[in-house]
Amino acid sequence: MSDEVKKEVEETAAATGGMGGEIVSLLKANIRDYMMYIVLAAIMIFFTVGSGGTFLGGRNITNLFKEAGHVAILAIGMTIILIIRHIDLSVGYVAGFSGAVAALLMTKGISIGSFTIGPVNEWVAILIVLAMGALIGLYQGTVVTKIGVPAFVTTLAGQFIFRGLLLRTTAATGTIVISDTRVVPKDFVGKPPTNYFNQLSNGYIPDLPIELPIRLHLLTVIIGVLMVLAFAWSQLKTRRNKLKYNFAVTSMPVFVLKLGFFAAVIMFFMILLAQYNGLPWVAVIIGVVLLLYNYVLNQTKLGRYVYGIGGNDQAAELSGVNVKRVTLYAFISMSTLAALAGILFTSRLRSASPDTGSGFELDAIASSYIGGVAVSGGIGRVTNTIIGALIITSLTNGMNLMQINISWQYIIKGIIFVIAVAFDVRTRQAAK
């Protein structure tokens, strides 16, 4: 029997080993990725039981997404920073400072010397704060790439600086409360217009003007269905392509099973949300940022270069990649996202306080690592990072529901974090 014929026979034998066998081998090969989902599911089931069902209620799941907002946004940016083997410890206070600046811009306005700006409406404030975030990233990225101060030191210094700036911003008033209506001039007559800032993290997408006999947010369900269709379409397209080039694909039944599973998960959560108030705006914002970053990382040159720099920066440089410029972009993106995270957090609390942002960087870094970013760099996906962020947020949310003391919360989160990374390191070693 020639080698090729033998190989074919073996392959057929493997294929006839049945669907069960294929699923098991698939699980084994991708244990790192699947483990995340298993852990998330286990945590959710645990807290659902522990809270007597409250955890998986529409109201709590809605809250979970709202609470995950700033963590998820920070973790997406942090994933890129960690892939290229840097770190950003300043994101917490950059977020806190940004939120405070936004709050101040909308309420009293800011005066620097003779230059005064504001009060401005929420949209202007958001744009100013995002631009400020980009400038902060430009500063930190420049110090790292042009001067050569390690990111650990640069951003640790940033932590001091932005913490100080946050205290200065809130020095006059302490906590800055953001009203649900805009600040209006003294001679303004009538009802002041709505300030949509607080809606970012507390509002929901509008529903279609159709009356339903039950409490169900129809547009949320429709969006869920569209998401499932888009997901199935992209998976099918990938599979067709792989088949075209004779790459290994899962068998059709397993593929359908996998598709069905993800479809069920998406619909499950969308219906939960629909039974409450519908899709929160913050989830939409996370989704848009996630899609954007996923696209950049997987489909564009810039994304390729990020992975290349993380894998071997010297090889990347000699392949014509401008390593310093890409690194600079990563820091600009990180601080801009930190500003966005600050906006979302401030919006959720409807106020900016002098200690906002403390420890955010820890949640972001933990989310990225739990989501499978390699500790040695070069590997990581923002889609998985989101799962990491959901795990971290679920832990906080669930333990709060069960009224577990904050001291234990930190300890438990720390243990889960170190186990996740240990598991990651071990499975990668085994793969070698």
Nearer to other proteins, 33 or 317 (CB): 317
Nearer to other proteins, 304 or 350 (CB): 304
Nearer to other proteins, 7 or 59 (CB): 7
To which residue do tokens 């004779």 refer? 246
Does the bond joining 119 to the residue before it have cis omega, within 30 degrees of 0? yes
CA distance 347 to 178: 8
| Beta-bridge mates of residue 112 | 115
- 3-class DSSP state of 115: strand
Q: How many CA atoms lie within 13 A of 127 on its CB side?
A: 4
Write down the least CB distance from residue 333 to other proteins, Å. Answer: 16
Write down the least CB distance from residue 371 to other proteins, Å. Answer: 17
Write down the least CB distance from residue 347 to other proteins, Å. Answer: 31
Which helix (H) or strand (E) element contains residue 110?
strand 110-112
Write down the least CB distance from residue 317 to other proteins, Å. Answer: 6
**Cβ-based neighbours of 192, under 8 Å, separated by 6 or more:** 181, 182, 183, 184
Amino acid at 226: L
Nearer to other proteins, 104 or 321 (CB): 321
Write down the least CB distance from residue 259 to other proteins, Å. Answer: 21
Nearer to other proteins, 239 or 350 (CB): 239
Which helix (H) or strand (E) element contains residue 252?
helix 252-275
Write down the least CB distance from residue 304 to other proteins, Å. Answer: 6
DSSP 198: G
Strand boundaries in 304-414, DSSP class E: 351-352
The runs of H, that is alpha helices, within 143-251 are: 151-169, 199-202, 218-244
Write down the least CB distance from residue 9 to other proteins, Å. Answer: 17
Nearest CA to 290 among 220, 367, 351, 362?
A: 367
Nearer to other proteins, 13 or 248 (CB): 248
Write down the least CB distance from residue 41 to other proteins, Å. Answer: 29
| Structural contact between residues 46 and 398, judged by C-beta atoms closer than 8 angstroms | yes
- 3-class DSSP state of 344: helix
Nearer to other proteins, 38 or 318 (CB): 318
The binding site for other proteins (CB under 8 A) comprises: 241, 244-245, 247-248, 295, 299-301, 304, 307-308, 311-312, 314-322, 374, 378-379
Nearer to other proteins, 2 or 314 (CB): 314
| Structural contact between residues 118 and 410, judged by C-beta atoms closer than 8 angstroms | no
Write down the least CB distance from residue 244 to other proteins, Å. Answer: 8
**Cβ-based neighbours of 47, under 8 Å, separated by 6 or more:** 55, 394, 397, 398, 399, 401, 402
Nearer to other proteins, 194 or 319 (CB): 319
Computed on alpha carbons and rounded to an integer, the radius of gyration of the chain in Å comes to: 24
Write down the least CB distance from residue 308 to other proteins, Å. Answer: 5
Instruction: Output the CA torsion sign for 221, 225, 228, 231.
Output: negative
Nearer to other proteins, 111 or 300 (CB): 300
Give me 98's structure tokens: 């940004």
